[in-house]
Amino acid sequence: MNRFITLFLGMTMMAGEIHAEEDKITVRGLSQKLELTGWKTSWPVKGETIPPLQPLPGGAMVAMVKLPDGARDLVRWSKEGKELARVPLEIEGEIHASHLFDNRLILASDTEVIEVDVATLRRCRARNLSVSRNGYTMSRVGPDGLWVVDEKSLYHFLLDGSPPQVLALPLDRNRKGNLCPKDMPSAPCYLAENTRMYVSQRGDLLIIEMFQEQYPYKGSPGRYDQVFPSTATVLDAAGKVVAQKPLSTVKEKWQWFWTEGSRGGNPVGTPSDIGVVRTRHETKWMPASEPLDAHGNDFLFTSGSDEGTDESTVRSMNRKLETNWKVSFRNFAHFITSADWARPLLIHDERCYLFVSIGDSGRKQKDLVVYGIDGIQQERFRTHFKRPRFAIGQSTEGDWLLIAY
């Protein structure tokens, strides 16, 4: 019996150590030359850090912390881990969206959206929400309030308390045809596949609408081509369309001398259906096909290299969806971007292994492998890739702050 008690206590202590190890913040210094400075600090969090952690100009950071009793605090730390301020989080319900806009942190739950002054952590403006979460698919905060998408509409709840702006979906007014039935389509039709949203520092909303179109083709009852056209739309804070462009389109092609199946029992395998030519459909992707993030007043997109090599290409596009610059570098599977107030732009690959820094004009300043960051990959394996989460800040001296939490 004593042996089992000892084993139980040992497992409990080990679980406690793992939990304590996970609830910490580690910050490492990285120079503009993408060389580790050797500066590193780590501190335990008195509770569980709720992402996203927001880096602040100068090196400080702010995050929500869930306490053991279920209460939540807003906490601001220095880059060295000194707790600068801690206040109870005054908002009902789970947080679904948060972001930093200058010196204001905007947070939203199911029931309200609030504005917090990050210098004092004092709650400023707030408003209640009047949208049902039934069919509610996504929300994003902006400097003026909260954008919410449900199955049929896009809402903008402004912090000034005015009635919400409501826009009918899809925003792509060129979307033609009928919604697809639950069973096999007998004619071309479409479904709303998914929606993604990003908000710039000036308050513009980039919304990506992707559709699934289904095209039955000749000779194969019950079978159809699936294609995925998508549209990028930029709206200003008033809900006015600033720009709209396709990210992917439907391409028609001819399939010559087609055959389908074969007649059973015939050793020669005579096709059951045969023809000279039929129309098929496939997805054609545009050069900037995958939205990545908002950065300052612009938006970042990623795609494969134009030359078809094993590279990634990142494009910066303005609010009119015009390309500011594009940079290609070694292939990244994942992208962690620096805070959108930091300069230049820094990207790493979620392993803190591959790095690239890009200036405002799109000049690639550095692109290299950084060695010597130990512990990150081990923690990722140990936590089934749930931790650490990442953020990239910048000190007053200009060094990057690689934050893992």
Helix, strand, coil content of the chain in percent (nearest 5): 5, 50, 40
pLDDT of residue 222: 76
What lies within 8 Å, CB to CB, of 382 at 6+ separation is: 18
Contact 156, 146 (CB under 8 A): yes
- Rounded distance, CA 313 to CA 400, Å? 22
Predicted confidence (pLDDT) at residue 202 exceeds the cutoff of 50: yes
What lies within 8 Å, CB to CB, of 12 at 6+ separation is: none
**pLDDT, mean of residues 292-316:** 83
- Rounded distance, CA 274 to CA 191, Å? 30
Beta strands in 46-121 (DSSP E): 48-55, 61-66, 72-77, 83-88, 97-101, 104-108, 112-117
Domain ranges across the chain: 172-285
Q: What is the pTM of this model?
A: 0.85
Q: What percent of the chain has pLDDT over 90?
A: 58
Task: Express each pLDDT in 23-63 by its tens digit.
Answer: 899 999 999 999 999 999 999 998 999 999 999 999 999 99
**pLDDT, mean of residues 220-238:** 90
Task: Express each pLDDT in 78-94 by its tens digit.
Answer: 999 999 999 999 998 88
Dihedral sign computed on CA atoms, order 243, 206, 157, 142: negative
Look at the block and give the residue holding tokens 């803190």.
352
Q: Where are the alpha helices (DSSP H) in 197-346?
A: none
What lies within 8 Å, CB to CB, of 161 at 6+ separation is: 127
In terms of pLDDT, which residue wins out, 45 or 218?
Answer: 45
Contact 362, 354 (CB under 8 A): no
Task: Express each pLDDT in 5-27 by its tens digit.
Answer: 343 344 444 344 344 345 899 99
- Rounded distance, CA 101 to CA 108, Å? 14
Q: Which two tokens stand for residue 278?
A: 């039929």
Q: Which two tokens stand for residue 220?
A: 């194969």
- Interior/surface letters 213-236, b for 16+ CB within 10 angstroms, e for the rest: bbbbeebeeeebbebbbbbbbbbe
